[in-house]
A and B are shown apart, each in its own frame.
Chain A
């Protein structure tokens, strides 16, 4: 493989700094921003022994107001583990994805679709939460992409109860019913 100079953005790709300011639409105003309770305590259990896994699970837990994240480990299929929100006995299946390597939002679709199939096969369809790290994009870019792109027509709608996109400036979360 031969070396090449760094690639410039393709036509149509907007680096975050070039995103035009725009008033949020009524639809966008309905997006729920997860609680940013940095002091919320998150307890990690299970077999997560790598720092970055704990980091994302902890961040997810903090955004949800605290609780316990239990990694499945060896038996995991489709999801990383279960989150029990503080003060409840619920066990919510959660999948954690880091898609911060892509420069093109359309390339997140195949990963989300793939995970949806894995979650379905694991018997967790309908209840799962997908937490996606997308720190290279601003929330407005992601919101517009979802609204105008294929994610809103995802054939796998009904698999994830909630999709959370952890963007450069804030996080977006939304129930799948809204995305349809």
Chain B
């Protein structure tokens, strides 16, 4: 089964691919060889890599071409028409105080978009570690928070900082 994460940004404007890539390398530690020398990000349905300096597009969906097998994809989704920010954070932010929920909602509303990360069923051996590191890297890049929506990490369902999520142990 596929597993999704949502990353709520706390800065306006979407990230550059190169910023995510370099943060991902830093976060990965011993698994960085899985990325290869030049990991590529392509729009879904295309095998043409986007430029390293390219900024991700809102409503854009991307997949990765890495040294290791990958089913990972990354999306950038507008809040409008897709998300009830308050309803989402209240639902999944079970580890947050009411004040932290309000602050997270304000940040996300202000940004106006979020990132979505997906790993598909049939993933490779080290993809869970790649997935955790990617979630932490995207959150670090946008100074945001990661929403865990399934009980597939040792953290449990909740909303976490980049540092907290980066230490998560996947159970899939």
CB <8 Å contact, B100 and A2? yes
**A-B contacts at CB below 8 angstroms, number:** 139
Find out whether the CB atom of B172 lies under 8 angstroms from the CB atom of A52. yes
Q: Which residues of B contact A95 (CB under 8 A)?
A: 2
Is B121 a contact of A1 with CB atoms below 8 Å?
Answer: no
| Neighbouring A residues of B13 by C-beta, 8 Å | none
Residue numbers in A under 8 Å from B96 (CB-CB) = 1-2, 4
Q: Chain B residue with minimal CB distance to A60?
A: B1
A107 to chain B, nearest CB (A): 5
The answer, yes or no, to whether A33 is at the interface (CB within 8 Å) is no
Contacts of B69 in A (CB 8 A): 73-74
A-facing residues in B69-88 (Cβ within 8 Å): 69-71, 73, 75, 77, 82-84, 87-88
Given known pairs A76-B71, A76-B120, A98-B1, the reply for A114 and B91 (CB within 8 Å) is no
Please report which residues of chain B, range 87-105, place their CB below 8 angstroms from some CB of chain A when the two chains form the complex. 87-88, 90-92, 94-100
Centre residue among A48, A56, A114, A122 by max chain B CB count within 10 A: A114
Cβ-based interface call for B19 (8 A) = no
Q: Does B150 contact A (CB under 8 A)?
A: yes
Count B-side interface residues using an 8 Å CB cutoff. Answer: 47
Docked-complex contact A96 and B70, CB < 8 angstroms: no
Q: How far is the CB of A180 from chain B (nearest CB, A)?
A: 18
Q: Say whether, besides A74-B124, A77-B120, A101 and B1 are in contact (CB < 8 Å).
A: no
In this complex, what residue of A is CB-closest to B120?
A76
Q: Once the chains are docked, how many angstroms separate the CA of A111 from the CA of B147?
A: 13
User: Does A53 contact B92, Cβ atoms closer than 8 Å?
Assistant: no
With A4-B98, A101-B149 already in contact, the answer to whether A118 and B87 are too (CB < 8 A) is no
Closest to B149 in A: A101
In the assembly, what is the distance between CA of A50 and CA of B152, in Å?
12
Kindly state whether residue A39 has any CB partner on chain B within 8 Å. Answer: no
Q: Evaluate contact between A48 and B121: CB separation under 8 angstroms.
A: yes
* A133 to chain B: closest residue by CB: B1
Whether A118 lies near B95 (C-beta < 8 A) is no
When the two chains form their complex, are residues B122 and A117 in contact, meaning their CB atoms are under 8 A apart?
Answer: no
> Within 8 Å of chain A (Cβ to Cβ): is B54?
no
Binary flags per residue of A3-31, CB closer than 8 Å to B gives 1, else 0:
11011001000000000000000000000
Q: A77 and B91: CB pair below 8 A? A: no
CA distance A113 to B90 in the complex (A): 21
Complex CA–CA separation, A174 to B41 (angstroms): 35
Across the interface, do B71 and A74 meet the contact criterion of CB distance under 8 Å? yes
Contact for A97 among B1, B95, B98, B158, CB less than 8 A: B1
Q: How far is the CB of B128 from chain A (nearest CB, A)?
A: 9
What's the minimum C-beta distance from A10 to chain B, rounded to whole angstroms? Answer: 7
Q: Is the CB of B92 within 8 A of A52?
A: no
Q: Considering the complex of A and B, which 9 residue pairs feature the smallest CB-CB distances, nearest first?
A: A121-B44, A71-B122, A74-B69, A80-B121, A121-B45, A73-B122, A96-B1, A76-B120, A53-B121
5 A-B pairs (CB sep. < 8 Å): A1-B158, A2-B97, A4-B95, A4-B96, A77-B44
**With contacts A77-B45, A110-B116 known, what are 9 further pairs, Cβ within 8 A?**
A1-B160, A56-B121, A77-B71, A95-B2, A106-B84, A107-B87, A114-B4, A121-B44, A123-B45
